[in-house]
């Protein structure tokens, strides 16, 4: 399921998110933050409502 979510991710939105977390990370003590070196796949957020419901259904 995660591979499908990543495949359908909007590259421009993910890049925008990447830019923002990198900017926010500059304020951290190490100057880059936890997500500064994250890949595209790491940055795709898979906690939307449909995915959350699917995970809950899979749990039974």
Q: What is the pLDDT of residues 13-57, one digit of tens each?
A: 999 988 888 888 888 888 887 777 888 998 886 555 565 566 566
pLDDT for position 52: 58
Q: Is 12 left (phi over 0), alpha (psi -120 to 50) or beta?
A: alpha
Tokens of 5: 């979510």
Rounded Cα distance, 57 and 35, in Å = 30
Q: Taking the model in full, what pTM does it have?
A: 0.63
pLDDT for position 12: 94
Q: Identify whether the C-beta of residue 51 lies closer than 8 Å to the C-beta of residue 1.
A: yes
Rounded Cα distance, 16 and 23, in Å = 11
Rounded Cα distance, 33 and 30, in Å = 7
pLDDT for position 15: 92
pLDDT for position 4: 87
């Amino acid at each position: 399921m995660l591979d499908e979510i990543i495949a359908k991710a909007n590259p421009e939105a993910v890049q925008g998110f990447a830019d923002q977390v990198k900017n926010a990370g500059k304020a951290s003590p190490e100057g880059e933050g936890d997500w500064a070196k994250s890949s595209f796949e790491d940055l795709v957020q898979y906690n939307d409502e449909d995915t959350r419901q699917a995970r809950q259904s899979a749990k039974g």
